[in-house]
Structure 1
Amino acid sequence: MSGKIVLVTGAGSGIGQALALEADRLGHRLILVGRREASLSDTASVLSRRARIVPADVTTPDGRNAIRDAVADEGLDILVNNAGRLASGRLEGLSDRDLAELVATNIAAPVALTRDLLPALEKRRGQVVNIGSVFGDIAFPYFALYSASKFALRGFSDALRRELAPRGIGVTYIAPRATRTAATESFRALIGPMAMSLDDPEAVARHAWRAISARKREQFPPSRERFFVALQRLRPQIIDRALAGMTSDPAVIAAARHDETREKA
C-alpha cells in the first residue's frame, strides 16, 4: 500500500512524528496536524515529499474546520487519530483542568474529527486509525484518568468498526506500550519502581504501519504485554493482584507523589 493521503494528528513530535516519517518512507502523502506550526514544519522538513501543514487544535470546532478544509483540498485515505495528553499520579492529585483537557483531547477530539471527516473517507473507502495504548486494556494504578481515556478509545474503535463496515471504511486500533517521548517526562519517577519497559517511537511507528497497511482490526506490541492483555481479558483478577500490589510498594508510592509534585511546580 502506497500513494495514499494520510492525515496524522499530533504530528509535530513523538509517535505522531514517527508515524508521519514512516508513512513518507512507504510512499504516502501527508497532511500534518498539530497545535504548533514550528513543530509541524520540523517534521515536514525531513520528509521526502511535500506535506500539507495544518496548525490546528483538534479539540476546537475552529481547529476541526481548518482540518476539514485541508481534506477538502487534498482528499483523504487514512485518518490517524494520534494527538493525546497524558496525566499520571494519585487520583486526588488531578485537577478539574487535568480532567477536562485530557478527556477533550483523548476522547472527544478523535470522535468529533472522525465524524467530520467521514464523507471524505467514504469517498475512498478509507481507514480510521486510533492510537490507543496497552493502558487501554491493562489499567495501571496512578494512571486512572489516562487508562480510562484509552479504554474509551478502544470501545469507540470497536463500535465504529462495526458501524462503518457496510460503508467500506476500515478501523484499526493501535495499542503501543510506554514510549520514549517528551510525555514520558510526566511519569519518569514511576518507570523504575513500576518496572516499565519503553519503546522508541520509530519502532512503534514501523510496527503500527504494518497493521495499518494490512487494515488489521487491532495491534498490540510484539512483547510480553501482548500476553498480559490476553490474560487481562480472560483472568482479570490475576492482573488485579499483580498491579494492586504495586500500590503498597513504598517506592511506587513515593514516585507517584514525586511526579505529582513536579507537575504542579
Structure 2
Amino acid sequence: MTRSNTVLITGAGSGIGRALALEAARKGFTLILAGRTATTLEQTKEGCIGADVRCVVADVTTPEGRAAIMDAVGPTLDILINNAGVLSVGHIADMTDADLERMTTTNLVAPMALTRDLLPALRRTRGRIVNIGSVFGDIAYPYFAGYSATKFGLRGFSDALRRELSGAGVGVTYIAPRATRTNAKGAFDALVEPMDMTLDPAEMVASQAWAAILKGKRESFPKGKERIFVKVQRLFPSLVDKSVGAQARDPKTLAALKQLTPSEI
C-alpha cells in the first residue's frame, strides 16, 4: 500500500488557498489546511470531498502557530504551499507602521520562517516548496508599494532558496498570479477600472498553479498581457515607469484611492 502525498496549504480558509485545496483534493492528495479561523477552514474541508483532510487553527506569523503546524505535519511533508497573505492599498504616505509590519510579517517573514522549520520534513521526501507571489512581485505597482515590496522579497527568497537547495532534491516553485477575484478584491476594487486590471477566478489560479507544481516548474505567470509586461519590466523598466506612472496620475485613479480599505487574501 502506497501513501498519499501530503500537502500543507497556509491561508487555506478562503480565496486562492481554498481553491488550491479543492484542486488538491480532486488530485488525491492528503491535505493539511492551516489558517487563523476554524470556521472557514472547516468550510474548505467540507468541499474537499473524499480527501483525507486535517485542519490546523494557527497564526503562521507566530512561533506558536508555526509550532502547531509542525506538530500537525510530523516527520515528512511532500509539498509546502506558502499562500497566506495580507494586503493594504493606498498612498505610501498613508500607510501606518501596523500596515507595513502586517504585510511584511505575513507575506515574507512567515513563509521564510515556516519553510525553515519544515525543511527537514521536506528533505526526507525530496519534496517541493511553493511560494504564492504575485505579478506585483515583478511589476511594482503604485499604491501597492508595500505589498509589491513583500512579493519582490518572496520572489527573491524563492530564487535564492532554489539555488541553496540545488542537489538536495527539494524543488522550489514561485507562482505569480495577477489580481484575483477573492475577498481581498474589496481592498482595491475601485482601482480595477482606472488601472486596467484583469482579474482571474481563484479556481483558474489554482488550476494553473497545480499544473506548474506537478511539472516541477521554477515559476509560473498568468497567460496574457501581464506575462509580456513582466518581460518588458525586466528588460526595459523605464517603459513600464511611463505607462504605469500615467495610470497612477490619472484623475480617475486618484479619485478611486479614497474608497480603499485594508483587507486579507
Q: TM-score, normalised by structure 1?
A: 0.96
Aligned to 1:52: 54
The 8 Å contact of residues 44 and 50 in structure 1, kept in 2 or not, is answered as no
Q: Which runs of 4+ in 1 moved over 2 A?
A: none
CA RMSD of aligned residues (A): 1.3
Distance across 2 between alignment mates of 1:223 and 1:173: 18
Distance across 1 between alignment mates of 2:210 and 2:4: 14
Distance across 2 between alignment mates of 1:111 and 1:206: 24
Range that drifts further, 43-52 or 119-128: 43-52
Which stretches in structure 2 are left out of the alignment for 5+ residues? none
Give yes or no for the alignment of 1:37 onto 2:38: yes
1:201-216 superposed matches below 5 A: 201-216=202-217
Aligned to 1:69: 71
> Relative to 1, partners in 2 of residues 1:121 and 1:256: Cα closer, same or farther, differing over 3 Å?
same
Q: Deviations over 1:65-101 (max 9, x none)?
A: 000111116x310000000001111111111110111
Secondary structure at the aligned position of 2:180 is classed as coil
The 8 Å contact of residues 7 and 31 in structure 2, kept in 1 or not, is answered as yes
The 8 Å contact of residues 90 and 257 in structure 1, kept in 2 or not, is answered as no
**Paired positions, count:** 260
Aligned to 1:8: 9
Range that drifts further, 2-11 or 168-177: 2-11
Aligned to 2:143: 142
The one-letter code of the counterpart of 2:9 is V
Higher helix share: 1
Q: Deviations over 1:165-199 (max 9, x none)?
A: 12110000000000000011011111111111100
Which stretches in structure 1 are left out of the alignment for 5+ residues? none
> Relative to 1, partners in 2 of residues 1:121 and 1:244: Cα closer, same or farther, differing over 3 Å?
same
For residue 49 of structure 1, report the CA deviation from its aligned partner.
Answer: 1.5
For residue 14 of structure 1, report the CA deviation from its aligned partner.
Answer: 0.0
The one-letter code of the counterpart of 1:193 is P
Percent identity between the aligned chains?
57
Aligned to 2:126: 125
1:231-250 superposed matches below 5 A: 231-250=232-251
The one-letter code of the counterpart of 2:54 is R
Distance across 1 between alignment mates of 2:77 and 2:89: 34
Secondary structure at the aligned position of 2:249 is classed as coil
Distance across 1 between alignment mates of 2:79 and 2:262: 35
Secondary structure at the aligned position of 2:71 is classed as helix
